[in-house]
Amino acid sequence: MARFYHLGGSMLALLLSSPLLAAPQIGKFGIDTAGMDKSVKAGDDFVAYAGGTYLKELEIPADRSNFGMFTKLRDLSQERTRAILDATAAKPGSKGSESQKIGDFYASFLDEKTIEARGIRPLKPQLAAIAAIDSRAALATMLGRNNRLGAGSTIGIGFRQDLKNPDVFAVYLRQAGLGLPDRDYYLDPKFEAIRGKYKAYIATMFRLAGTADPEAKAQQVFDLETQMAKVFWSRVEQRQVEKTYNPAATADMAAQFPGLDWPRFLAAAGVADQPRLIVSTPSAVAGVANLVATAPLSAWQAWLTFNTLRGAAPYLPKTFAEADFAFNGTVLSGTPEQQARWKRGVDATQGALGEAVGKLYVAKYFPPEAKAKADDLVKNVIAAMDARLANLAWMDPATKVQARYKLAAFKAKIGYPDVWRDYSALQVDRGDLYGNVQRANAFQYERQLAKLGQPIDRSEWSMTPMTVNAYANPTWNEIVFPAAILQPPFFDPAADPAVNYGGIGLVIGHEISHHFDDQGRKYDKQGKLADWWTAEDISRFKALTNKVVAQYAGYEPLPGAHVNGELTLGENMADLAGLNVSLDAYHKSLNGKPAPVLDGLTGDQRFFLGFAQAWRQKYRDAALQQQLVTDPHTPGHFRPYVSRNVDAWYDSFGVKPGDKLYLAPADRIKVW
């Protein structure tokens, strides 16, 4: 299970004017001193102190639900990718080549004239097949088939390493199929208004497709999804990795999860020959299987029809795309305007042909010297983590030895894959956008399906080089940093080291520590789900993580809406560890020499400010509310408050008792 690290914050001038290897453009040494608000004490509100003036002037663009550094860095990546796609679409190359597929896919998205002329004709075969469902067996076949097409199924099928045997791939079954962001949106009274708008949106999609009785069908869809939500696991429950590992013999599925015609479902999904499946959310799968047997076929047909329309909406005529955005963009996220078509086209093309596009992106925007210097920084942060593990007071000595063995076995992937993905089996037609999307979904599914029974290829990546993000994959004991995040202000080979360590250094430490957080610690150095801690270690660790849960649960990003300390525990622990480890690595990089004072700022001050300024971010209320319910990350503009747990922060900014963020030394959380 890969752990993804979602970033946020902003530094506008740098991103608009700075090429990859140029000197930082925000402040002489990478710190935006003009954006600080020194009228605020760092100890009262470190976020405001570090970036309050900048945040007051920052406006969220009309096509964004939030805006900040991550968003702007993503914009830069998107604009660079657009230039590549525009050139490739103008000269796509010979038929069957990667350049032809990239150029024609992007061109098919931009060809609004053809899309409008075709209307919903591309969907007719699928809609007719849904209308023809006349039995529970036929329903099971459709639900299984939809997994292959990415067309919506209430039992999702995925492929990943067997958590207890990570040298082989396994088939995983999980709950799926809700149209709203989370089960709470169906069950919590505070979302009642959104539920009404959701039903109206469903009816609109039916109406646009010319379906009779759109309101009645919308009610059927909503009622069915509400029943599904009642049996679904919460996001906190799904975080407990050992609870999601439930092997079942394929032959026993009908007895264990009655109601669904499992042979037909699995055959249609292409996995009927697998002797063993792993059920991630067993009670939810059981509840859904029962609904397959008991809910009216007409309700399931309405649900499948709506899911087909909803999934296809971005690739259909403007009326569908706008109706889909009006709910999913504006109602759920508060975004007033849809993104320009070229931006959506860039995202769609990257989704279908990510590594083919990435190959061109890396050649143009990620020089070898950037990769080499980032690799050095990764090694330094890993060494700092090793030193922390060696000196842990709360961990049993034998466990510490194993933890350091695990760290020593780490693999760090930097920039881009060593082996690029092969897209030769994917067909792309310049005049068939929806067909291209369907074929891309099927291609990806079949590529994963083909891994069953084959050796694990650990050279693979789960993100493209254009992705402004990073992740930890505990089953492969690896950390991964795509090219697009290895640029200012997270990383610049020419920048002040304090800023680099406060930026990308913290990201690296964050990802490393995921392998030792409340879930990552459950994997050994081979990536196997296993107990390798003593009971005493676990007890002491739990006492520390309880403090993390409590501290973050005290934050209130919206009136009456607090951070979910349990849902965000892993990410908050990773921020805490990342900050400490990257600071250690920065200090070690000085080789015993004092850090220079630049613009009146000490090295440690620049480190903490570089961290905090990278997280300057604003949200629309609806987007922030959705994040608090669904996202395991604390909202970006609250993440710099983790600094209050680090002694050096107090020394750097003169934080004293009585300051709002002050914690007594005994109350500062120190895990790693």
Is the distance from CB of 132 to CB of 141 less than 8 angstroms?
no
Helix/strand/coil percent split, the chain, to 5: 55, 10, 35
For 346-370, the pLDDT digits (tens) are 999 999 999 999 999 999 999 888 8
Neighbours of 67 (CB within 10 A): 23
Cβ-proximal residues to 551 (8 Å cutoff; 6+ apart), any chain: 565, 572, 645, 669
User: Per DSSP, what are the bridge partners of residue 472?
Assistant: 3, 479
DSSP 375: H
Cβ-proximal residues to 61 (8 Å cutoff; 6+ apart), any chain: 67
**Is pLDDT at 7 greater than 80 in this prediction?**
no
φ/ψ of 272, rounded to 5, equals: -65, -20
Give how far Cα 384 sits from Cα of 96, 159, 216, 521, 579, Å.
48, 34, 61, 18, 11
Residue 157, SS3 per DSSP: strand
Under the banding of pLDDT at 50, 70 and 90, the label for residue 372 is confident
> What is the secondary structure of 484-542 as a DSSP string?
GGSSTTT--TTS-HHHHIIIIIHHHHHHHHHTTSTTGGGB-TTS-B---S-HHHHHHHH
Under the banding of pLDDT at 50, 70 and 90, the label for residue 265 is very high
pLDDT of residue 648: 98
Residue 210, SS3 per DSSP: coil
Q: Helices in 409-478 by DSSP H: which ranges?
A: 433-449
Of the candidates 286, 348, 331, the residue with the CA atom closest to the CA atom of residue 105: 348
Is the distance from CB of 9 to CB of 613 less than 8 angstroms?
yes
Give how far Cα 196 sits from Cα of 43, 369, 370, 657, Å.
44, 54, 51, 49
Residue 197 CA from chain centroid, whole number: 26
Neighbours of 555 (CB within 10 A): 18
**Is pLDDT at 18 greater than 50 in this prediction?**
no
For 600-647, the pLDDT digits (tens) are 999 999 999 999 999 999 999 999 999 999 999 999 999 999 999 999
Residue 558, SS3 per DSSP: strand
Lowest-pLDDT choice from 17-26, 166-175, 262-271, 532-541: 17-26
Of the candidates 151, 106, 146, the residue with the CA atom closest to the CA atom of residue 353: 106
Radius of gyration over every alpha carbon of the chain, rounded to an integer in angstroms: 25
**C-alpha–C-alpha distance, residues 415 and 411, integer Å:** 13
Of 372 and 656, the one with more pLDDT: 656
Lowest-pLDDT choice from 16-30, 330-344, 430-444, 618-632: 16-30
**Is pLDDT at 16 greater than 50 in this prediction?**
no
pLDDT of residue 29: 52
Looking at residues 271-280, what average pLDDT do you find?
98
Mean pLDDT (the chain, rounded): 93
Is the distance from CB of 574 to CB of 618 less than 8 angstroms?
no
**Is pLDDT at 98 greater than 60 in this prediction?**
yes
pLDDT of residue 492: 84
For 211-231, the pLDDT digits (tens) are 999 999 999 999 999 999 999
**C-alpha–C-alpha distance, residues 130 and 139, integer Å:** 8
- pTM surpassing 0.85? yes
For 292-327, the pLDDT digits (tens) are 999 999 999 999 999 999 999 999 999 999 999 999
Looking at residues 26-45, what average pLDDT do you find?
84
Largest CA distance in the chain: 77
Strands (E), 283-376: none
Under the banding of pLDDT at 50, 70 and 90, the label for residue 9 is very low
Is the distance from CB of 179 to CB of 310 less than 8 angstroms?
yes
Give how far Cα 55 sits from Cα of 32, 36, 52, 68, 347, Å.
12, 9, 5, 9, 28
Please name the residue that has the structure tokens 């790693």. 672
pLDDT of residue 23: 32
pLDDT of residue 25: 37
Q: Which two tokens stand for residue 416?
A: 């881009």
User: Per DSSP, what are the bridge partners of residue 175?
Assistant: 155
Q: Which amino acid is at 404?
A: R
Neighbours of 388 (CB within 10 A): 21
Residue 224, Cβ density class (10 Å: 0-12 exposed, 13-18 middle, ≥19 buried): buried
Under the banding of pLDDT at 50, 70 and 90, the label for residue 15 is very low
For 492-548, the pLDDT digits (tens) are 888 899 999 999 999 999 999 999 999 999 999 999 999 999 999 999 999 999 999
Looking at residues 38-57, what average pLDDT do you find?
97
pLDDT of residue 250: 98
Q: Which amino acid is at 441?
A: N
pLDDT of residue 255: 98
pLDDT of residue 473: 95
**C-alpha–C-alpha distance, residues 166 and 182, integer Å:** 30
Residue 168, SS3 per DSSP: strand
Is the distance from CB of 305 to CB of 130 less than 8 angstroms?
yes
> What is the secondary structure of 31-98 as a DSSP string?
--GGG--TTS-TTT-HHHHHHHHHHHH----TT-SEEEHHHHHHHHHHHHHHHHHHHHHHS--STTSH
Is the distance from CB of 151 to CB of 126 less than 8 angstroms?
yes
| Per-residue 3-state assignment (H helix, E strand, C coil) for 273-298 | CCCEEEECCHHHHHHHHHHHHHCCHH
